[in-house]
Structure 1
Amino acid sequence: MHSVLKLFLAFFFITQIQNSYGQDLPKGFMLIWEEDFNGEGLIDNSKWNFEEGFVRNNELQWYQEANAIQTNGVLQIQGRREKVKNPTFEEGSNNWKKSREFAEYTSSSINTRGKFEFQYGILEVRAKFDTASGMWPAIWTLGISKPWPANGEVDVMEFYQVNREKTILANVAWADAKKRANWDEAKIPFADFLMKDPNWQEKFHIWKMYWTENFIRLYLDGELLNEVDLSTILNPDGFNPFHQPHYILLNLALGANGGDPSGTEFPKEYLIDYVRVYQKK
């Protein structure tokens, strides 16, 4: 009886591992990289880089390392209303990064550039975020060569306001002849998810990118949101930015597309349980 119990427990343990690692994976895939954020305090800088200051899109937040910590088994990226002096301030400057003497908000943006990059496979992220006005959380990848947008961008998840309506997006971008971004976008009103589950915001969800030489498919909780045929995507110079390695980015932006955060109570949290990448054996 004792040996039967041991066999049962071993089977149960293996099944739990299979259920938590690679759920709904195509046959023949194996885990090649993961971050489970099981430490406490600052995150592992052998895996992650931090962006600093004002970075993109005329956003309101000042990115800083202090707003990303591991706690209770998750990464907590915290958006805060706090004043930070801009050391690059130039009075009268036309550059938005230099024209603001202070930032009124702070947050964090982390990435794996130069520390982990992958070409083809499955990226899976389990995350939860606040949907208040001003929030712009994202899970995305960028190619390692060429400037944006010629390097290629995959927005596995973005949440922001489209025509003042809260929206979940799944996008792919590359360069056009004028070096601007071509977009293949899926925009799903957030109200659609609330109709299915009024408590959607209170739960963690799984975002997934399935990437091959031929296609990119973007999923939310197993539902296909967008599929892109990569044979139709080329930069003007003939380069396909999705036939090169990409690195991973996680960030919480504030303002800009996220809407006006002035009436929102802070701090706000963007929680990431894990990041996993699978490739064929």
Structure 2
Amino acid sequence: MYKLVWAEEFDKPGPPNPKNWKFETGFVRNEEHQFYQAQNARCEKSNLIIEARRESIKNPAFKSGSNNWRENREFAEITSASLSTSGLQSWQYGRFEMRAKIDTQLGLWPAFWTLGTEGEWPSNGEIDIMEFYRGQLLANVAWGTKQRWNAKWNSKKTPLESLGRDWTKKFHVWRMDWDETAIELFVDNRLLNRTELATATNPDGKCPFKQPHYILVNLAVGGQNGGDFSQTKFPTRYEIDYIRVYQKTVV
């Protein structure tokens, strides 16, 4: 029996609730092209809108001649937003659910995912309840290996065309059921991926999915996986109706 323990309904217009969300800023990961900033996220008509825009803004981390991808661009050409409950809200086990509509144009990379609160990535554990890029819906679980910053992945890809006509025009429900034994990832009650926790252990034998995780939602563009966005129509939206966390009650 599940009980609702946390819900974000995005009912109050304006910025997302700072008690639940903090923002990533700048060029963050995966050599992505978007510059993350708080002003690209807002609550509107009971939805969280994460908007990617084609606009030129100054990169405050720019260093002339740098080989670092975060520093060698004087200007960003795309802006977007990434929100996280890190340091504010986290949970160990439960049912995590999101109702959302995603844009599936080439170059876009929306995600709904979690990271463990303790440890360095990927040894802290990553769960991608939803990722989409290059015509594929992904459901992934990742943990550590003997090589630093190199993950072991259990990844399942579902081609967009297999999901049905007009799929991208509608809202869908993504869900994770996570307990002491396994992680199961769903879309619209369709099981996409199952990972046994007994198999998801770091080289030291510890399982990063036996600790609290926090939630991230973001809309990335380009980078290592997003693809070519030269023909993508901006601005584009990732629209989230709600995010809810349920946990089992003790009988």
Q: Name the TM-score class by shorter chain.
A: over 0.9
1:64 and 2:37 correspond: yes
Larger Cα-atom Rg: 1
**Amino acid in structure 2 at the alignment position of 1:186:** K
Q: CA shift at 1:134, angstroms?
A: 1.0
Residue 239 of structure 1: CA displacement?
1.6
What does residue 186 of structure 1 align with? 156
The AA in structure 2 aligned to 1:109 is S
**Matched residue of 1:231: which SS?**
helix
- Which 4+ runs in 1 deviate beyond 4 A? none
Q: Deviations over 1:49-95 (max 9, x none)?
A: 10000000000000000000000110000000001111111111111
> What whole-Å deviation, never above 9, does each CA across 1:192-234 have from its counterpart, x for those lacking one?
11xx2x1111100000000001000000000000000110111
Separation of aligned partners in 2, 1:32 and 1:39:
20
Give me the CA root mean square deviation: 0.7
| Displacement after TM superposition at 1:132 (Å) | 0.8
What letter is aligned with 1:159?
F
CA-to-partner distance for each residue in 1:99-152, whole Å, 9 max, x for gaps?
A: 111110000000101111000000000000111111100000000011100000
- Amino-acid identity (%): 52
* Equivalent position amino acid for 1:185 in 2: S
Q: Distance in 2 between matches of 1:81 and 1:261?
A: 10
More helix by share: 1
The answer for the alignment partner of 1:274 in structure 2 is: 242
Q: In the alignment, what sits opposite 2:179?
A: 212
Please tell me the residue identity of whatever aligns with 1:49. K
Q: Distance in 2 between matches of 1:228 and 1:103?
A: 38
| Aligned counterpart for 1:135 among listed residues 96, 101, 108 | 108
Q: Could you tell me how far 1:98 is from its partner in structure 2?
A: 0.5
What secondary structure is seen at the aligned counterpart in 2 of 1:66? Answer: helix
In structure 2, distance between residues paired with 1:174 and 1:102:
34
Q: Is 1:229 the counterpart of 2:196 in the alignment?
A: yes
The one-character-per-residue Cα deviations of 1:144-164 (angstroms, maximum 9, x if unpaired) are: 011100000000000012xxx
- Is it true that 1:109 corresponds to 2:82 in the alignment? yes
Q: Which amino acid aligns with 1:240?
A: C
Give the aligned partner of residue 231 of structure 2. 263
> Which residue of structure 2 lines up, in the alignment, with residue 51 of structure 1?
24
- Identify which of 144, 152, 156 aligns with 2:117: 144
Match of 2:221 among 247, 254, 258: 254
Spell out, residue by residue over 1:180-200, the C-alpha distance to the aligned partner (whole angstroms, 9 max, x if none): 10000101111111xx2x111
Cα distance in 1 between the residues matched to 2:61 and 2:170: 39
- The aligned residue for residue 160 of structure 1 is 133
Q: Secondary structure at the match of 1:192?
A: helix
Correspondence list, 1:110-125, <5 A: 110-125=83-98
Q: Distance in 2 between matches of 1:97 and 1:271?
A: 27
Q: Structure 1 counterpart of 2:231, which letter?
A: G
What amino acid does structure 1 have at the position aligned with 2:241?
D
| Partner SS state of residue 127, structure 2 | strand
Letter in 2 for 1:170: A
d(CA) in 2 for partners of 1:272, 1:221: 15
Residue 173 (str. 1) matches residue 142 (str. 2): yes
- 231, 237, 242: which is aligned to 2:209? 242
**Partner-residue secondary structure (3-state), 1:57:** coil
How many residue pairs get matched? 247
